[in-house]
Amino acid sequence: MDATVPITAALLTCPHCGMSHREIMPLNLCVTLFECRRCREYLAPRPGDGCVFDSFGSLPCPCVQLRRQRGG
């Protein structure tokens, strides 16, 4: 696998009800609002995070993955 290709599938876990959703992360934008399918609460990034995947995902968003691979 090429180290410069980010992984785009991640589990997003709702902090309100604990439900995990398998989601595909977009490559070209940050997801700043996500509605839980179970409890209908909205997830927003924690302070300092740019994306809900950075805060509640099993993997950070693709742009963070690439930045880390480059040593940033």
3-state secondary structure the chain: CCCCCCCCEEEEECCCCCCEEEEECCCCCCCCCEECCCCCCEECCCCCCCCHHHHHECCCCHHHHHHHHCCC
Rounded to whole angstroms, the Cα distance separating 13 from 18 reads: 6
Task: Indicate the pLDDT class of residue 2, thresholds 50, 70 and 90.
Answer: low
Q: What's the whole-model pTM score? A: 0.86
pLDDT in tens, 5-45: 899 999 999 999 999 999 999 998 899 999 999 999 999 99
CA distances from 46 to 4, 14, 49, 55 (A): 26, 13, 6, 6
